[in-house]
Structure formats: C-alpha cells, structure tokens
C-alpha cells in the first residue's frame, strides 16, 4: 500500500473508530489490516484465536483455522507445553513428528492458567479475541474464572469453542472422555473390523479429529451469526456426537426395522461390488462399482456384459443380497490380469478403482505431486519435513502453511508485549514467578 493511500485508509478508519466508540477489538483489527495482513493470508486473516486445549481435539480445530489465515495463539504450560510435543512413533532429536503438523501456523504463548496472574492475562487477551478454543473437562474453565458467562462480560462478541468427550451438559458431561471412548460410544468401533474379531479401531485418532472438524464448522457458523447479531456464543462439540453424526442410517435402521449393522470387514452391508480384489501379480486393488450404471461398465470391462442383465446382479438390491457370489466372480477375473493392465482397463471403462496407499505410495504419486497434496517445509531440527497440505482448496482466498509448529514459548514476548503492551521488566517478573 503506498504511503498516501495508507494515510487515507488510517484517517478513514480513525473516523470509523469515533463512530463505533473506538473499541479495543476494532483497533487491533485496523492494526492487522495496515501492518499484519501481508504476513497471513486466507479468508480468516482478520480473526484472532486463543487456543487453550491440548493433545488433539482442540488443537486440530485450531490448526484448521490457522491454515486459513487466522492468528492462532496457543497457550501452553510453562516448561512442559502440550503433551503432543513428545508424541509420535519416531522422535529424531527428541522431537515429535506429530507436533509440526497440528501446531503449524500457530504462535506459542507459555502461560500458567492455574495462577491468578495467568488467568488475568487471559482475560486481557480476550478483549481482542474472536474465538477461544478449549478442550478441558467441563467446569475447569469455570474454576479458573474463565467460563463463558465471565468472559462474555469482557467481550460480548467472543465465540467460545468447547470440545469434550460428552458435551457440556447431561449425566456424562463430567466424565473424562478421550477420542477412543467417543468412537466406541458413538457407534464407530462396533462396525469397524472383521466379524470374526472383537471391534477394531482405525489407525488414526478419528474421534478427536471429527470433533475438531465439527468444532471448526461451528466456530465459522457462529462467526457468520455474529455478523447479524453482534454477539458471540458457545460452540459445544462432543466427541461422541461428532462420531454419531457420521453413522449414516444405523440408528434409523434399528428404530424402524430392528436391524443392527454389524462388522463386515472390507465391505459395507448390501453394497456390492465394493471390495478389495487380487491381481495376477499378487497386488490388491479396490474396485467400487455398486451403482447400476457403473456395474454395467464393469461387466463390460470383464467381457461379461450379461452379468448386468442377470437377475442376481442387475440391481443394487440384488447385488447386495448376492455379494459374496458376485465378489468371487470378480476376484476370479481380476486374478487373470496384472495390476497395471487391470487398472488401465478399468479406467478406460470409467470404473472407479484405486490402490490402497500407505504414506510411501502417497509421497511418490504423480497426482499428489501435481496438486501439491503433500508439501515440504523447512524444519529447525530435521532440515525439512513433508506433511499433508491445506484442505479444502479455495480459488480466491486459499489457505497455506506458513511454518511448522513453533518452539515452546517462541512467541510469548511478542504476544504479551505487542497485544498487552507489557514492558520487558514486567515480562521478567512474570517469568520469575513461573506465570510465563
């Protein structure tokens, strides 16, 4: 922005301040517009988030907001920080390989929330905060005098995102609740795995991540509602409910038909063909051709077009009833072809298929590379690190990864001296007391 235009902009905004009583939040917003917007791009680059959760559910919500430009200030316990800093399968240099992803694009502020001075700092930061994320057990924030009823007196526009195992109300609300428990009670664990084994889990923390996605969605809806009402609100995201929301028709099937969906391994009940099939060279390929028109294309590719007219396979319902028999026929055919030939034939006939990728296949896939689905970023200890890119993709205001997860307390002085105008002497005093 040229000097003259910047001066005009500031004069205009100073006039607006007078009309709107020069609120603290608006001053911070103008400061960002004139000085900080270039550092953060994306549709949320005028939004400030205070993240007070740890491990995964709350922090993943913060990651999603940060990916699209929000300034996310993560509060961490001095000396230890978020336990996720040391989680992960391998820890070169003693560092987590999980942390660089879930804390990417965030600022790290060390703050002891169990001290009165730490709580007072939160209240001061709340004045210029749009969204507060926390995933403590219900009642914890209230014990610290940081409940929503208290904080909205300071900032009526505040949106408070609360992620817990069972929600803020109800007889289970006070229980400790990890993602695994939400997956179990939300119904997911019951249907995952082979019917011959006990319930399985997915190899990722899907319950926490679903709760975080719903929390993020709720925060964005609350931001939109605030445009009309001028008021913030509470977003209550329970892990078990986030899982339950993904359980398709399982509840209705039981309610209306008395049917309980059971574990079915690699298939879905009454959905065929949609399974993993073997190839001549010992590889596996997932083929999904359960829609009538797609199954006709598969039958043609197999050289057996009559299958699509066979009463046993002609309709979705019929194929579901005869799933095992049909899958065996398809498997007999796929075993006659090597993987490359099979893939090419299916793609030529418009039949959806795909390899079952591990990370090794993902990083080498040309489509992933062309779309930059996996990106490489500099890292202070590893030299560089690859991770999944931002999703979804916006054409005009895309998100981006600006940096990996920060060091513990890396931005403490920046946040407190910048936002709260604390002097170096005051920062030294707080450090000596263990508040920061």
Q: Are 342 and 285 in contact (CB under 8 A)?
A: yes
d(CA 59, CA 212) in angstroms, rounded, equals 8
Active site (catalytic) residues: 208
Question: Is 95 within 8 Å of 131 (Cβ atoms)?
Answer: no
Q: What is residue 85's three-state secondary structure?
A: helix
145 is written with which tokens?
């005098």
Q: State the helix-helix crossing angle for 3-19 and 24-31, rounded to 10 degrees.
A: 170
40 closest CA partner among 407, 393, 390, 400: 400
Map tokens 């062309």 to a residue. Answer: 370
Contact (Cβ atoms closer than 8 angstroms) between residue 146 and residue 123: yes
Burial 353-363 (b: 16+ CB within 10 A, else e): beeeeeeeeee
Other CB atoms within 10 A of residue 262 CB:
9
Query: Using H for helix, E for strand and C for coil, what is the string for 249-269?
Result: CHHHHHHHHCCCCCCCCCCEC
Alpha-carbon distances, residue 95 vs 84, 104, 218, 380 (angstroms): 10, 14, 32, 11
Residue 153 CB neighbours (<10 A): 11
Six token digits for residue 210: 């679903």
């Amino acid at each position: 922005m040229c000097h003259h235009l910047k001066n005009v902009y500031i004069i205009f905004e100073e006039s607006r301040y007078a009309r709107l009583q020069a609120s603290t939040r608006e001053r911070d917003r103008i400061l960002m517009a004139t000085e900080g917007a270039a550092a953060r791009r994306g549709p949320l680059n005028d939004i400030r988030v205070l993240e007070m959760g740890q491990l995964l559910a709350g922090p993943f919500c913060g990651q999603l907001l940060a990916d699209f430009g929000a300034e996310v200030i993560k509060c961490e316990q001095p000396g230890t920080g978020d336990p996720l800093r040391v989680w992960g399968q391998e820890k070169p240099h003693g560092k987590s390989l999980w942390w660089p992803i879930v804390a990417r694009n965030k600022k790290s502020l060390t703050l002891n929330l169990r001290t009165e001075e730490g709580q007072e700092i939160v209240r001061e930061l709340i004045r210029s905060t749009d969204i507060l994320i926390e995933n403590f057990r219900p009642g914890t924030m209230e014990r610290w005098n940081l409940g929503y009823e208290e904080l909205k007196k300071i900032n009526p526009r505040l949106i408070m995102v609360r992620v817990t195992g069972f929600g803020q109300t109800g007889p289970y609300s006070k229980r400790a609740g990890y993602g695994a428990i939400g997956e179990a009670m939300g119904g997911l664990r019951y249907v995952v795995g082979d019917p011959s084994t006990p319930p399985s889990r997915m190899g990722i923390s899907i319950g926490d991540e679903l709760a975080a996605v719903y929390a993020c969605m709720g925060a964005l809806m609350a931001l939109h509602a605030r445009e009309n009402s001028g008021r913030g609100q509470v977003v209550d995201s329970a892990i078990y409910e986030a899982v339950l929301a993904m359980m398709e028709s399982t509840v209705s099937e039981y309610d209306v038909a008395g049917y309980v969906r059971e574990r079915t391994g690699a298939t879905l009940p009454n959905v065929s063909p949609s399974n993993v099939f073997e190839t001549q060279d010992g590889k596996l390929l997932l083929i999904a051709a359960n829609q009538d028109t797609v199954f006709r294309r598969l039958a043609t590719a197999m050289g057996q077009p009559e299958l699509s007219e066979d009463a046993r396979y002609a309709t979705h319902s019929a194929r579901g009833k005869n799933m095992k028999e049909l899958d065996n026929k398809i498997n007999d055919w796929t075993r006659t072809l090597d993987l490359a030939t099979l893939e090419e034939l299916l793609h030529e006939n418009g039949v959806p298929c795909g390899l079952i990728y591990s990370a090794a296949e993902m990083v080498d896939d040309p489509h992933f590379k062309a779309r930059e689905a996996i990106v490489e970023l500099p890292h202070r200890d590893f030299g560089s690190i690859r991770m999944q890119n931002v999703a979804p993709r916006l054409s005009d205001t895309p998100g981006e990864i600006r940096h990996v997860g920060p060091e513990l307390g890396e931005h403490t002085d920046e946040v407190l001296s910048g936002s709260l105008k604390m002097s170096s002497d005051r920062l030294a005093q707080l450090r000596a007391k263990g508040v920061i």
